[in-house]
Copies of this chain bind each other. A is one copy, B any other.
Amino acid sequence: MPEIDFWYSIGSTYSFLTVMRLPDWCRKHDASVRWRPFDVRQVMQAQQNVPFVGKPQKTAYMWRDIERRAAKYGLRARLPAPYPISDLSLANRVALMGMSADWGIGFTRALYRLWFEDGVEAGSTEALTEALHRAGQDPMPVLARADDPSTREALDAETAEAVRQGVFGAPSFVVRDELFWGDDRLDDAFSWARVGHVA
């Protein structure tokens, strides 16, 4: 079965649902998913895609929808979480570094827990430092390396690849060049990977 690319950005609210339920979901479905952090803010600004800022009704609905779905998935959440986050690029650069090693998923999940369970803004130094600790990393050298030009270029390259694959928001799934947008399309993406259509 082809692998599913899971494009997400720390800073995306609906990505919380996928980030938290995906490991159990993969075990249950015997599926393999590749976690790919990118900078969704850069993409959405370039495409003039502004889903929530200045839209109070839609924003209120987003939190309520996430609350109901978190309950469905058995996820703890204290909502609304601080939003939007200040520095989206740094958090995703750190996540991308972690994906080249073995701590990227653990870091991402720890950071979402801090953001959605404890109300600590995910772009803050406090949240990044604590999430790195929880992922077994020494924060200071990691955060220093996250500012290297090579790390910035690596995230830019991943973001460009996401755009090349048609990604315009997060979370998204891509399988065999087929794009699925939203946590609620995970089953569609899996069906596409298995049988080539949405069942």
Contacts and interface: CB of A to CB of B under 8 A. Distances in A.
Interface of A: 47-49, 54-55, 57-58, 60-61, 64-65, 68-69, 71-72, 166, 168-169, 179-181, 184-185, 188, 197-199
A166 B63 CA distance: 13
Contacts of A185: 65
A153 to B, nearest CB: 23
Given A68-B197, A72-B197, A198-B69, A168 B61 contact: yes
A55 B49 contact: yes
Number of copies: 2
Contact of A57 (B58, B68, B166, B184): B166
A23 to B, nearest CB: 21
Contact of A55 (B48, B60, B72, B180): B48
Nearest to A60: B166
B61 A188 contact: no
Contact of A58 (B49, B58, B198): B49
A57 B197 contact: no
A54 B64 contact: no
Given A60-B166, A61-B166, A166-B61, A188 B55 contact: no
A180 B61 CA distance: 8
A181 B69 CA distance: 13
A47 B58 CA distance: 9
Contacts of A199: 72
Given A58-B47, A61-B179, A68 B198 contact: yes
